[in-house]
Amino acid sequence: MKKRHEILLRKLSNRGAYSYQELSDEFDVSTMTIRRDVDKLASQGLVIKTIGGVQKADAPSYFYETKLQSRFLVNREEKLAIAEKALELVRPGQTLFLDGSTTCQQFAKQLTRHSKGLTIVTNSALICLVMGEGTENTVVCIGGQFDKNTASFVGPSSEELSGNFFVDMAFLSTRGFVTTEGTFESSVGNLRIKQLVAEQCTELTLLVDHSKFRMRALCKAIDISKIKTVVTDDAAPEEELNILKEQGKQVYVATSNDVLKIEEDVVSAS
Amino acid sequence: MKKRHEILLRKLSNRGAYSYQELSDEFDVSTMTIRRDVDKLASQGLVIKTIGGVQKADAPSYFYETKLQSRFLVNREEKLAIAEKALELVRPGQTLFLDGSTTCQQFAKQLTRHSKGLTIVTNSALICLVMGEGTENTVVCIGGQFDKNTASFVGPSSEELSGNFFVDMAFLSTRGFVTTEGTFESSVGNLRIKQLVAEQCTELTLLVDHSKFRMRALCKAIDISKIKTVVTDDAAPEEELNILKEQGKQVYVATSNDVLKIEEDVVSAS
DNA sequence: TCAATTTATGTTAATATATCACACGCATCT
DNA sequence: AGATGCGTGTGATATATTAACATAAATTGA
């Protein structure tokens, strides 16, 4: 590895992108030479060639999990809208629990931007990283066996530990939600932790996008009686929301700017 | 958000990059239209424009921590060489502890590729994610308060939990290493956990690049008597290695292909 | 030490790519 | 109907990329 290569990588880690011209001036070599440097680094995946310059290759590919990444994109706008709405529920100085769902990741991102002085308890590695960047909040993580599908910690030692935490508000997402019964999960891993958290929080808030309503899954997780508040998006079925209100639940409906369903055919055909 | 935009993002999450021509054919619109789509998405940071096409914006920026990222680049080749060498020490079925250092991250990456059936215990969120991707190993994480500088978990509850784990081999890195005394750390956060792990492992291996030798830091962490094996790179001072050998330590020296020091002046001047 | 070889670099011309400006079709609103 | 705004396609122009060649510097082997 050449000296210029090393320096270029370090420069990129400070500032995200440089033009060939800038680099040519700074290193005092021709743009052609810089181009050749960049070609080499790009072929190793260390940088990304852009038009007229070079950009840092953000995170090495192992920094994220592909399945999670794609799940992050499903109903992205609704999840963002729900996360923003949920911000209204948080009071200064509170202790919160967030599960490892992508909805809660969005929520964590919003919390990082708009709040400080909170204590966040989670069992998700990604939430820790999300909140780690420039946050003014304290983040506590429950350990345990790492589940790569959800990037969160599950199993006996998690459960033991989560039994020690008592939070003001728990924010949970779910796989399926039946308004007369409660929430459902399809994997037993997260089930137990969610149940423990539901037991030990003062208030339980459910973050559910419209696609979860009227869906059951393998196991019942949390009984409807434990849920105090529900935050969803404006595509959620009216009648279900009415059932919740009749039960005395607080219902928050977030309006997402642009709800566009994607024909799965088009995508899977590619 | 337009339908084409949504679909393009999902396509990119499956396959990393597309040319304008391909997209033009698939969507049956002109390349100009695709270019305009990509421009919009690029301005939102959702994709990256490349020459003749578009590439997915790997991880959202909050997926990684900037300081960590840059630390990852310091002595990168030496750390990689050390990580590869350390692979030789691992036996099938063992239980290992890895700390949150960048050297151990490299090691974790190598383990993911070259081993299976191991149980890895760590207090680092990044190691979990590193090993989560396609690993055949079990990963267990110690929870606790999240330290954003090292992306690892520290504090009382971590210490309590780490007291429950007994591993075959612990791989630790360090801030400073004096061959006649032991290792040194500059933050108290990781100190206690490293000490506990050192107590409770059958074998302790130190992964240190040459820059750590003869350096002290705020607190003494681990006494030299506890260390059984040292893995370092070929720029480590000979005499120090001899001192280790005289003490009966196992010493492994990794040869990095290309050791080039970078003048800090040049970098910091930028 | 010198010549031979490789490697790194700069210059130019060609090719490919990106951008701009304009015109068209289509929907919406008054 | 006419006006407005939006998305789109076409072609001209500007810019960037690549390839080919020439030169300079470093490396190698006798």
Instruction: Report DSSP letters for B220-234, one per residue.
Output: EEEEGGG--EEEEET
pLDDT of res. A1: 67
pLDDT exceeds 70 at position B126: yes
Tens digits of residue pLDDT in A204-218: 999 999 999 999 998
pLDDT of res. A42: 84
Nucleotide nearest to A20 (CA to C1'): D16
Q: How far apart are CA A41 and CA B111, in angstroms?
A: 24
pLDDT exceeds 90 at position B61: no
Task: Tell me if B62 and A129 make a contact (CB, 8 A cut-off).
Answer: yes
Average pLDDT over residues B219-244: 93
Share of chain B above pLDDT 90, in %: 43
Query: Separation of CA A35 and C1' C13 in angstroms?
Result: 18
Better-scored residue on pLDDT, A240 or B71: A240
pLDDT of res. A265: 36
Helices B102-114, B76-86: inter-axial angle, 10-degree rounding: 50
**Lowest model confidence (mean pLDDT) among A54-58, A121-125, B22-26:** A54-58
pLDDT exceeds 60 at position B64: no
Residue A213 DSSP symbol: B
Task: Tell me if B141 and A125 make a contact (CB, 8 A cut-off).
Answer: yes
- A46 pLDDT band (50/70/90 cuts)? confident
Backbone angles phi, psi at B14, to 5 degrees: -85, -55
Tens digits of residue pLDDT in B91-108: 989 999 999 888 898 788
pLDDT exceeds 90 at position B225: yes
| Start-end of CATH 3.40.50.1360 domains in chain B | 71-265
Enumerate residues 6+ apart whose C-beta is below 8 A from A261: none
Average pLDDT over residues B6-24: 83
Q: Residue B84 class from Cβ within 10 Å (0-12 exposed, 13-18 middle, 19+ buried)?
A: middle
Q: Between 3.40.50.12500, 1.10.10.60, 1.10.10.10, 2.40.10.10, what CATH number should domain B2-60 receive? A: 1.10.10.10
- A14 pLDDT band (50/70/90 cuts)? low
Q: Compute the 3-state secondary structure of chain B and give helix, strand, coil in percent, each to the nearest 5.
A: 45, 25, 30
**Lowest model confidence (mean pLDDT) among A10-24, B72-86, B217-231:** B72-86
Please check whether residue B177 is in contact with residue B206, taking contact to mean a CB–CB distance below 8 angstroms. yes
Going by C-alpha positions, the residue among A218, A157, A226, A223 that lies closest to residue A193 is A157
Residue A224 DSSP symbol: G
Specify the pairing of strand B152-154 against strand B144-147: antiparallel
CA-based max dimension of chain B: 73
| Start-end of CATH 1.10.10.10 domains in chain B | 2-60
Q: How far apart are CA B201 and CA B172, in angstroms?
A: 11
Task: Tell me if B161 and A143 make a contact (CB, 8 A cut-off).
Answer: yes
Share of chain A above pLDDT 70, in %: 83
Q: Which CATH class is domain A71-265?
A: alpha beta
Which of B49, B59, B161 lies at the smallest CB-CB distance from A64? B59
pLDDT exceeds 80 at position B269: no
Enumerate residues 6+ apart whose C-beta is below 8 A from B114: B87
As a whole number, the mean pLDDT across chain A is 82
| A-B C-beta contacts closer than 8 Å | 190
pLDDT of res. A58: 60
Task: Tell me if B157 and A140 make a contact (CB, 8 A cut-off).
Answer: yes
Chain C: nucleotides under 7 Å from a protein CB? Answer: 8-12, 16-21
Q: What is the pTM of this model?
A: 0.73
Nucleotide nearest to A35 (CA to C1'): D17
Q: How far apart are CA A75 and CA A235, in angstroms?
A: 11
- A75 pLDDT band (50/70/90 cuts)? low
Q: Tell me how close the Cα of A37 comes to any Cα of chain B, in angstroms.
A: 16
Better-scored residue on pLDDT, A32 or B260: A32
Average pLDDT over residues B138-147: 90
pLDDT of res. B264: 35
Query: Separation of CA A262 and C1' D9 in angstroms?
Result: 25
Better-scored residue on pLDDT, A230 or B258: A230
Going by C-alpha positions, the residue among B256, B207, B235, B213 that lies closest to residue B78 is B256
- CB contacts of A57 in chain B (<8 Å) are 58
pLDDT exceeds 70 at position B266: no
Which of A59, A131, A138 lies at the smallest CB-CB distance from B59? A59
Q: Residue A92 class from Cβ within 10 Å (0-12 exposed, 13-18 middle, 19+ buried)?
A: exposed
Strand C: protein residues, Cβ closer than 7 A: A 2, 4, 29-30, 32-33, 36-37, 51; B 20, 32, 35, 39, 49-53
Helices B66-73, A3-14: inter-axial angle, 10-degree rounding: 170
**Lowest model confidence (mean pLDDT) among A14-23, A210-219, B79-88, B125-134:** B125-134
Better-scored residue on pLDDT, B22 or A9: B22
Query: Separation of CA B4 and C1' C29 in angstroms?
Result: 27
